[in-house]
Chain A
């Protein structure tokens, strides 16, 4: 009896492992098909622009509000620590580097996964459940070219723009707390930031991160929707998986990218 129960455990683990591998393969295949079907997204640019509006513009409010508060909190915490060492003038650098290098891309990606990613998964999942994707197939229209690819490129385009906006608004929030509220010198705030934030190492690397996060988050959302069982429960589970998988992927990718960029 014990042997049988152990076998069952092995079988369960094996099944979960193989199903994960299978899903990874299916996601890679969808990614490849999306890339080779992308011509349509650029030929008929209005399809992609429409999706940029839905994924990017519609995420603006949550991004801007979050960035503003994150910047303000950074300034408060940063000032609290820096003043102990008599370096409170460096508050501008701290806020800018934290936002441009890490918090901008990472928090934007997490918010994007929660706001736009879930919307993409639910939309594609429901299109599948209501046979809209099948209908497209039967009309000799590839759903990957018509539905998946424009959303993918919209996510890839929107994410760096949103991350840049996040950093900008965050810096503005930090400025408002550091300069008018705490009384740090405005000249020191901006000049230290200008002197210590590097275009290539900080800003470009931040944009690269957000591009990679854009590819990952959008592809996960699209795959989860495309692969969702065509039921209410299936779509709901897929939406949850989108948030969980995207968040973990972003954090893991952030570590990997940072380790390459910092080159320790």
Chain B
């Protein structure tokens, strides 16, 4: 498949490193600022995840919650999220964008309308936190029809039968949740154990790109280098919160974090 997501992984693989995936919340803390951040960090990130903020995020920890509340407070709407992505894609054509969020917002927007808008804004993939397999079957099919990657999540609690089925139903990328935690938790499992689980997934179908997320920071990223890709979210949101608090330049600070993350896995 010639998806941009696949290309991004291939590029990283050719450089013998995992792909770096960043997560930021659209509209955090303003529409303009989040676009600036996105553009700036994409110099170092291979794939950018963009969260559409929800005010009842049941799987997110404190950092991403704060980012989401900030964005909502500043009036971000779903259409703004699409606008940010579209604008980003005008100048960064080859960097894949993955939207990530909760199903209620897609449901209210209407699935078909949402996907049309995704396509129109050149969104490459979607992660829907609270739409697990097999409930996501029909939606994931719709995504595929539109050429949008639906990204399945897998966790340490996923049984082996389930894992097989999920992999079979997955598109180009699978997201492995490193541990039992909300986003931004402290990594409470050893890197060895995480990678052991990771390879259980990877070895089932080597053509799938498997990324690891949750609990990845500047401190821990190096230990998980063997993965196809690594996602950092809360650590980035945290830096943004800090920059706002101390009235520092968020674009510079956040970009520096992403650059350092990248250097650790080169």
A and B found bound together: no
Chain B residues within CB distance 8 Å of chain A: none
